[in-house]
Structure 1
Amino acid sequence: MIRPLPPELKGLLARGEVLLAVKDAVRELLENALDAGARRVRVELWGGGLERLVVEDDGEGIPLEDLPLAVEPYATSKLQDLEGIRTLGFRGQALYALRQAARLRIRSRPRGQLGGGLLLAEGEWVEVRPVPAPPGTRVEVEGLFLGEGRDPKGEVRGVLDLLKRYLLHHPRLALALFAEGEARLLFPGAGLEEAARLAFGRLLAKRLLPLAYEAGGLEVQGLVSRPEVSRTRPDRLFLAVNGRPVAFPEGLLRRVRRAYRELLPEGHYPVGVLNLSLPQEAFRLRLDARKEEVVLSEEAEALVEEALHALFRRENLARALPEPKPLQPLSPPTASGLPRLRFLAQFRESYLLAEAGDTLYVVDQHAAHERILYEDLLKRVAEGPRPLPRPLLVLLAPEEEVLLEAEQEALAELFRWEPFGPGRVRLLSAPSFLHPYPLLLPEVFKEALRGEGRSLKALLARLACLPAVKAGHPLGKAQGQALLDALLACETPWACPHGRPVLLALKEEDLIRRFGRRSGARAGGESRPHRPRESSPEEPSPQGG
């Protein structure tokens, strides 16, 4: 039953619902649908949602007698007291704010009600009448931000990003987005891994590890990146508390960074999504219009750190070497400044072990191959794009269409293309070294398009990443030695194109100190193999150095 909030609660809520963009209106209506138990939601945008916005769900619906209250300020069926917030929406202002900002039309019917109700509202005018209606609720908003000169494409992109974010936290929701009648997003509620492919892209999603951990009534589930995936900002690390998308608290971010401390370069952050299920006493939500800031209890933050440590142990990701250091540029004997490396073995099909002099080297095979390919691309890209034997059709997502205009100048140094209908371009030219890979070319084009950097070097770095040998790929002795030799021929072999270290060096003296020995191979006898002497049971065993 919908009822006005009592005066003592009104004073604790910030006045006015913040509607800064079409995505804010979509967020409020989507949260209403989720609170109503919707399993299917359809969003329609006309003119980027500025002309008309429609959100339709199959939730429980609003009774006819409650429809007039639904658009009144501080009227909600969701909140009894501030200690018992169990829903995404609770302020009782969203529909009232939309009524004041645009023309509002709500058609709704609960499943147990015979016939539905239709509400029309604009400003202070409200009209309600009975109408036939299917179960659920359909909200239409017309003339939002009228006369403000908004960019419809930018509004569509904002809504698309918002819906992808919510699917990370509600991956069983069937969600559809249509812009100008054309499908832009069709998600069947296929689970978190599919939602991650949609939000992060197929290649990055493959490098995410599933996380599930529970202790003391607190639970965390999600996907987090392996050490080879990181960013210098935490902008691709998403958090939800009880299904509500929220900003990452600083304390929790420090915990996550500490868990990854030995796995990521300094100043880097993982990628992924964490979904926390917490009792009410384990967090506090700021009661502003955005409803995005939370303070977590010490127990909740510790749970996430424990979950990450448990995951890394299970996946054998925790580093056990005695703190090898990234190499700095060295002096000759070789052109690159590195001594010739002798291949020893491959570790976990991801790292090459090599030696030179008194130093053991650990080489990230993916980063090394990236560097080799990148420097080769730098030399070959001067050829410019060459006509393809046959043009290739590339399908673009809505956000990629928007990026195409912004990245046009950088992409033109590598590709030539032409529009080929909505959401499509025809690829005409590409660097000649990519011609033998027609199946890979559309992905290379889109990966280059999605790159953050606008420079040619940033695009080449992404191109080098795609075909580079991946972690988990076995290499034989000859292949491993060939990779090391090619790395030595690079101008900058100690860092990949993205700035991550390629090699870690471990001096023999560090091993001697860690094992408590007095000397190594160069000092003589102790480290040389020798035949053990026979000893009687009464004779004490020799003490090792």
Structure 2
Amino acid sequence: MSRIRPLPPELVNQIAAGEVIERPASVVKELVENCLDAGARRIEIDLEQGGARLIRVRDDGGGIEAEDLPLAVSAHATSKITSFDDLERVATLGFRGEALPSIASVSRFALTSRRAGNDQAWRIEVDGGKARAVVPAQHAQGSCAEVRDLFYNLPARRKFLRAERTEFGHVEDWVKSMALARPEVEFRLAHNGKAVRWFKAVREADELEQRLSDVLGSEFPGASLRIEHAAAGLRLHGWVGLPTASRAQADQQYFHVNGRLVRDRLVAHAVRQAYADVLFHGRHAAFVLFLELDPALVDVNVHPAKHEVRFREGRLVHDFLYRTLDEALAQTRAGGAMGAAPAAIAEMRGPTAAQAWMPTQAGLGLGVREPLADYAALLGRGPSLPQSPVAVMPASAVGIVSGDSEVPPLGFALAQLHGIYVLAENAHGLILVDMHAAHERITYEKLKNARAGEGIRSQLLLVPLSVALSEREANLVEERYTDFAALGFELVRSGPQSVVVKRIPVVLEGADVGQLVRDVIADLAVHGQTRRIEECSNELLATMACHGSVRANRRLTLPEMNALLREMEATERSGQCNHGRPTWVQLAIADLDRLFLRGR
């Protein structure tokens, strides 16, 4: 081993660059965040060859004084924090003072800037970490950073860059996220001399939906719920996609903490749990969410590239996110938003918003107050219809009243198709309902409500079950004894690395208790709380609801069909069944006109 000696500054910066600069998108992120911290309202990003050849970022921010330019490309020099107290309450996107020197150490870098009120702009160039003298330049107010030949002096790193299209795609995705987070800022993105994206600044509240459409597509605003909730010093706002507008990939999930796009396991866990009861297996929710809290309650200094954060009150944040989203999704009642309707024969478009409608007790049809047992018996009655494609009711029997405000959201039943679908007419057009999926959700929600009213009942095991754990997990069982008891478990430590299960929740009889206990302990260790019991119980209730719901090929009378529609309107999450499938579809008159080419 040779003697210990300090590393050269250029090598120090290159090591830092290995942590901060992964690809061109990392460079764009650091440069644009500096622009935003400088108060920019217009940011232009130009790339060549996916950013490998050139990355140029211009802004109209406050600019940098000439004498500060050498410091701007020096390690750990910043204007954003001055003390440890500032580090505890970071309110800017950048603060480490390492981004520019790291970028400059692995590229041919130039920074031109002009402060507001100054007559002259100034420029500094850095080649492979070696800075040159500051010289006069021409530039409007603001700054321009140029990064050429990224990783030219690190061939091994350059080989890890992907295809030009892939690298540009990463840049475009990140710019989209910032366009969502900072709607008041104009963003322009160009690649190889061609304009690709132009997000105009949002100046009025009603223009915000247009920014959403520009970034995520025209269908997203209408297929999402607006969230706005504050409690315990936390504020959550944004949009969450309807369960029926889920996606095959997690490619439209944007979560910002105090304006910073982050990937956080605690957040992901809370969102996944909120959607667990309504999302189809293997599908992913779409959302754009913004969490705001006191900067002192979140540590943004846990990752070199600032992709992750650590909440000082993680359990509080998790519970706040889950409850807010769960309550919002619970309001996705059938009829509350327009169901999917065909824009063309071969395509389906997402739901669009419909006006809110609060049902009154008068004139809603039959069966509104029927008990669950009577209702299940009512819908379960009737012969199978294997050969009967349509059971049609005369229009006169429906008795739709005049005036849109007097028609319930799901309207009144017209017919039954193949013993599977209920056809109804509402103020907007035609409604199609999957009667088994709808009744399954209704039964499931009633079973959950009944369980909540009774609390978690437990029972003694005839033969106590021994579960092997790590010593740390066994310690946790002792420390959280009352938490397990509240969940219906009685766990007693029987050794350094084992516990004995003496009592379990009644509803979990027949479940894999050993594995469930391990999962509960893991949740408590990581998140401070668990919903494993509820989730496992819900799975059992969902099975019961599925087997207890009305089956296909059952003939329903007109009052029975209308009773089902009224129950759907009154039941939480009735827009989709227990497995996440849609329970109803709206075909508006305009959709039907297009389908039959009327008016052409």
Per the normalisation by structure 2, the TM-score is 0.53
How far residue 267 of structure 1 moved from its aligned partner, in angstroms, is 5.4
Paired position in structure 1 for 2:386: 334
Write the distance in 2 (CA, Å) between the matches of 1:88 and 1:266: 36
Give CA-to-partner distance per residue, 1:494-530, whole Å, 9 cap, x none.
Answer: 8xxxxxx9833459999999999xxxxxxxxxx9xxx
Give CA-to-partner distance per residue, 1:176-231, whole Å, 9 cap, x none.
Answer: 01122221111112354233213321123321222112223321111111232123
Paired position in structure 2 for 1:474: 428
Superposition map of 1:60-459 within 5 A: 60-79=62-81, 80-81=83-84, 82-123=87-128, 124-146=130-152, 148=158, 151-190=163-202, 192-231=208-247, 234-247=250-263, 249-266=264-281, 268-296=283-311, 297-312=314-329, 316=333, 334=386, 348-349=409-410
Give CA-to-partner distance per residue, 1:434-481, whole Å, 9 cap, x none.
Answer: xxxxxxxxxxxxxxxxxxxxxxxxxxxxxxxxxxxxx998345xxx5x
CA RMSD of aligned residues (A): 4.5
Deviates more, 1:63-72 or 1:73-82: 73-82
Q: Give unmatched runs, 5+ long, in structure 2.
A: 1-11, 337-367, 377-382, 399-406, 451-558, 560-600
Paired position in structure 2 for 1:520: none
How far residue 362 of structure 1 moved from its aligned partner, in angstroms, is 7.6
Paired position in structure 2 for 1:504: 438
Superposition map of 1:509-524 within 5 A: none
Do 1:312 and 1:318's aligned partners in 2 also have CA atoms closer than 8 Å? no
Paired position in structure 1 for 2:566: none
How far residue 48 of structure 1 moved from its aligned partner, in angstroms, is 2.6
Change in Cα spacing, 1:473 to 1:115, as seen in structure 2 (3 Å) is farther
How far residue 278 of structure 1 moved from its aligned partner, in angstroms, is 1.0
Do 1:362 and 1:504's aligned partners in 2 also have CA atoms closer than 8 Å? no
Helix, strand or coil for the counterpart of 2:51? Answer: coil
How far residue 353 of structure 1 moved from its aligned partner, in angstroms, is 9.6
Q: How many residues align?
A: 372
Which of 10, 16, 24 is matched with 1:22 structurally?
Answer: 24
Helix, strand or coil for the counterpart of 2:44? Answer: strand
One-letter amino acid of the structure 2 residue matched with residue 255 of structure 1 = A
Give CA-to-partner distance per residue, 1:218-255, whole Å, 9 cap, x none.
Answer: 211111112321236544221000110001x3333333
Helix, strand or coil for the counterpart of 1:164? Answer: helix
Write the distance in 1 (CA, Å) between the matches of 2:32 and 2:332: 37
Which of 28, 38, 58 is matched with 2:60 structurally?
Answer: 58
Deviates more, 1:176-185 or 1:305-314: 305-314
How far residue 35 of structure 1 moved from its aligned partner, in angstroms, is 1.0
Q: Give unmatched runs, 5+ long, in structure 1.
A: 1-9, 326-330, 366-470, 485-493, 495-500, 517-526, 528-545
Superposition map of 1:478-497 within 5 A: none
Give CA-to-partner distance per residue, 1:29-76, whole Å, 9 cap, x none.
Answer: 011111111111001112332222110001111111110011112222
Superposition map of 1:22-41 within 5 A: 22-41=24-43
Write the distance in 2 (CA, Å) between the matches of 1:513 and 1:54: 59
One-letter amino acid of the structure 2 residue matched with residue 135 of structure 1 = Q
Helix, strand or coil for the counterpart of 2:236? Answer: strand
Helix, strand or coil for the counterpart of 2:238? Answer: strand
Do 1:115 and 1:132's aligned partners in 2 also have CA atoms closer than 8 Å? yes
Per the normalisation by structure 1, the TM-score is 0.58
Helix, strand or coil for the counterpart of 1:27? Answer: helix
Do 1:322 and 1:514's aligned partners in 2 also have CA atoms closer than 8 Å? no
Give CA-to-partner distance per residue, 1:273-323, whole Å, 9 cap, x none.
Answer: 101111124323353222111233333333333433554466657999979
How far residue 166 of structure 1 moved from its aligned partner, in angstroms, is 1.4
How far residue 108 of structure 1 moved from its aligned partner, in angstroms, is 0.6
Helix, strand or coil for the counterpart of 1:228? Answer: helix
Give CA-to-partner distance per residue, 1:131-182, whole Å, 9 cap, x none.
Answer: 3432110011111134646533332222111111211111221000112222
Change in Cα spacing, 1:284 to 1:350, as seen in structure 2 (3 Å) is farther
Give CA-to-partner distance per residue, 1:104-143, whole Å, 9 cap, x none.
Answer: 1111112143422110111224221233432110011111
Do 2:183 and 2:211's aligned partners in 1 also have CA atoms closer than 8 Å? yes
Change in Cα spacing, 1:230 to 1:94, as seen in structure 2 (3 Å) is same
Paired position in structure 2 for 1:405: none
Which of the pair is proportionally richer in helix?
A: 2
Change in Cα spacing, 1:354 to 1:228, as seen in structure 2 (3 Å) is farther
Do 1:71 and 1:96's aligned partners in 2 also have CA atoms closer than 8 Å? yes
Give CA-to-partner distance per residue, 1:337-367, whole Å, 9 cap, x none.
Answer: x98667798963499798799x9x78699xx
Helix, strand or coil for the counterpart of 2:33? Answer: helix
Do 1:168 and 1:192's aligned partners in 2 also have CA atoms closer than 8 Å? no
Write the distance in 2 (CA, Å) between the matches of 1:155 and 1:513: 50
Which structure ranks higher in relative contact order (CA pairs < 8 Å, sequence separation ≥ 6)? 2
Give CA-to-partner distance per residue, 1:371-406, whole Å, 9 cap, x none.
Answer: xxxxxxxxxxxxxxxxxxxxxxxxxxxxxxxxxxxx
Paired position in structure 2 for 1:524: none
Change in Cα spacing, 1:290 to 1:332, as seen in structure 2 (3 Å) is farther
Paired position in structure 1 for 2:504: none
